[in-house]
Amino acid sequence: MDCVFCKIVRHELPAEILYENDKVIAILDINPIHYGHALVIPKTHCLDFLSVKESDLHDVLHVTQKVARAIVTTLKLEGFNIFSNNGRIAGQSVFHFHMHITPRYPDDNIKFVLQLKSYDGGAMAEYADKIRHHIL
């Protein structure tokens, strides 16, 4: 499989491995938002958050917490972000599911540029209703 994270999982490509167990590997991101930016990756290939097996997701989240604690302690952080990009339009560039953990610092000027909306009339209830119908 020609997937960069699968190659890292198989130790065919070099990576700064922070932690690994039989299901999950955590590495430093090669192009960090801030130094210490880490990626937590299930060892079994899957495309994204929607397709990751429930038990792998559980293991990834568990390791994300473990590694985030270590990053916070090491870098004496006041805060950090965890996130996952899903789909090219959302910024995903490696199509093997992973969580990002990135340190945050005061005035680091990292932000989504958001124009927040409000719901008109019954739109909020309509959206909630439609989404509820698709929850399996």
Under the criterion CB under 6 A, does residue 73 sit at the interface with ligand 5GP? no
Q: Which does 47 bind (CB under 5 to 8 A by kind): Zn ion, ligand 5GP, none?
A: none
Going by C-alpha positions, the residue among 6, 82, 12 that lies closest to residue 46 is 6
Report if residue 62 touches Zn ion, rule: CB under 5 A: no
Residue 54 CA to residue 28 CA, distance in Å, equals: 24
Of the pair 29, 59, the CB lying nearest ligand 5GP is at 29
Q: Where are the beta strands (DSSP E) in 1-136?
A: 17-20, 24-28, 38-42, 79-83, 99-104
97 binds Zn ion (CB under 5 A): no
Candidate list 30, 110, 123, 125; residue touching ligand 5GP; CB under 6 A = 30
Interacting positions 6-25 with Zn ion (CB under 5 A): 6
Among candidates 71, 79, 82, which has minimal Cα distance to 35?
Answer: 71
The answer to whether 44 contacts ligand 5GP (rule: CB under 6 A) is no
Helix (H) or strand (E) holding 5: helix 4-9
Decide: is 4 part of the binding site for ligand 5GP (CB under 6 A): yes
